[in-house]
Amino acid sequence: MTKVRRQPVAISIPDRRDAALTLGPALLVFAFGFLSPLINLAIESLKEFTPGRVGSVENAAATVQNYYELANQAFASVLLTTFWIGGVAAIIGQLVAFPLAYFIVRRISPRMRTLTLGFLITLVLSSVLIKTYAIELTFGSVGIFRPFLLTLGLSPNSREYINIVVIAGLVHSIIPVATLTLIGAMQSIDPRLLDAAQSLGAPGWKAHLSITLPLSFPALISSTLVSLTFAISAFVIPMVLGRGRVLFMSNVIYTRFSDIANYPSGAAISLVMLAAALAVVAVITFAQARRVSQ
């Protein structure tokens, strides 16, 4: 059966009342619960902070001081940590997800396929807390991977050890999502192309390198960036596994809120983080637009 995607026809909602009825509630929730808080956040980030006060003073003077204060080494290192740990995790995730997705699409029986997909979807839907806790149990003081890391010469309290555990936590969440994203692209690659390349004499690995990889390259790029977006907005994983030594941007926002109640500064960091996330999404959109135009 071929699927024909049709444009919705014009037996559409005839009057404005129905449009208001269907779209109204969502618009209301969106405007009140999402748009207004973000605008308010932008305004708050320009307010002067009075130490010892919760939140900014009502008619505080407008200032860029909160942004200016972020231009120091401490925040730069937080930004750097977020991006490099997130980037490493995103890339390791793709290195596993790519062959795994191919394997699920082409190499296993329908039964095993359902089982593997079920496992991956379970991982996507299961709580990030459980995964974080499980990683801590596995790599922590009683974990079975601990002796392994120790033989590599890593002291459990060293920065490297903690970095590896945080990366492991992120990768654990990234692999399932990246695999499920890549499966879609792999499914649309005609397997006959690979057969053709091989029957024309190309060895298998070369055929994959010249067929499978280029054809799924755009999907691989967007999967990498989606993983990166996930990693740079991670909160629980660095908070629990980082033991206060690895701080991501979101952890600093939370500290500004919970420890020192400097809301204007928290708001400024929020906007920096939002800008970072939007930049990554802009790259994805650009890559996808190029794919369509090609």
Partner 1 sequence: MSMQSFAARTGDRIAGSLAYGVIGLGLAFLAIPLVITCVMAFDARTYLGPMPPPALSLHWFERLVSQADILASLRTSLILAVLTTVLSVTIGTAAAVGLARGNFPGKAALTSAFLSPLIVPPVVIGFGLLLFLSKAGITNGMARLLLGHVIITLPYCIRTSLASLLGSDQRLTEAAMILGATERQAFWTITLPLMRTGVVTGAIFAFAISMDDVSISLFLSDPSATTLPVTLVSNMRAAFDLTIAAAAVVLIAVTALLIVVLDRVVGFDTVVGQGLFRS
Please report, as residue ranges, which positions from 63 to 92 form the binding site for partner 1 (by CB under 8 A): none
The nearest distance, CB 293 to partner 1, in angstroms, is: 18
Q: Which of 77, 114, 155, 158 binds partner 1 (CB under 8 A)?
A: 114
Q: Does 25 bind partner 1 (CB under 8 A)?
A: yes
Return the SS3 of 30.
helix
> What is the C-alpha to C-alpha distance for residues 171 and 179, in angstroms, rounded to an integer?
12
Q: Which of 84, 119, 148, 286 binds partner 1 (CB under 8 A)?
A: 119
With binding defined as CB under 8 A, does residue 222 bind partner 1? Answer: yes
Minimum distance, C-beta of residue 276 to partner 1, in the bound complex (Å)? 9
Q: How far is the C-alpha of 164 from the C-alpha of 180, rounded, in Å?
A: 24
Residue 19 sits in the site that holds partner 1 (CB under 8 A): yes
Stretch that binds partner 1, among 68-76, 83-91, 148-156, 278-286 (CB under 8 A): 278-286
Site for partner 1 in 231-260 (CB under 8 A): 232-233, 235-236, 239-240, 249-250, 253-254, 257
Q: Which H or E run contains 8? A: none
Residue 286 burial by Cβ neighbours in a 10 Å radius (0-12, 13-18, 19+)? exposed
Of 57, 196, 213, 281, which one interacts with partner 1 (CB under 8 A)?
281
22 binds partner 1 (CB under 8 A): yes
Q: What is the nearest approach in angstroms of partner 1 to the Cβ of residue 216?
A: 14
Can you tell me the distance from the alpha carbon of 182 to that of 225, in angstroms, rounded to the nearest whole number? 12
DSSP conformational letter for 33 = I
| Span from 66-74, 99-107, 149-157, 158-166 in contact with partner 1 (CB under 8 A) | 99-107
Q: How many helices (H) and strands (E) does the chain have?
A: 14, 0
Among 61, 137, 150, 152, binds partner 1 (CB under 8 A): 137
Query: Which span (60-68, 69-77, 159-167, 222-230) binds partner 1, by CB under 8 A?
Result: 222-230
| CB 73, min distance to partner 1, A | 23
Q: How many whole angstroms from its chain centre is CA 2? A: 34
Structural contact between residues 283 and 225, judged by C-beta atoms closer than 8 angstroms:
yes
Q: Determine if 279 is a binding residue for partner 1 (CB under 8 A).
A: no
**Among 268, 229, 269, 218, which Cα is nearest to 247's?**
269
Q: How far apart are CA 180 and CA 222, in angstroms?
A: 13
- Is 205 one of the binding residues for partner 1 (CB under 8 A)? yes
* Residue 142 CB neighbours (<10 A): 9
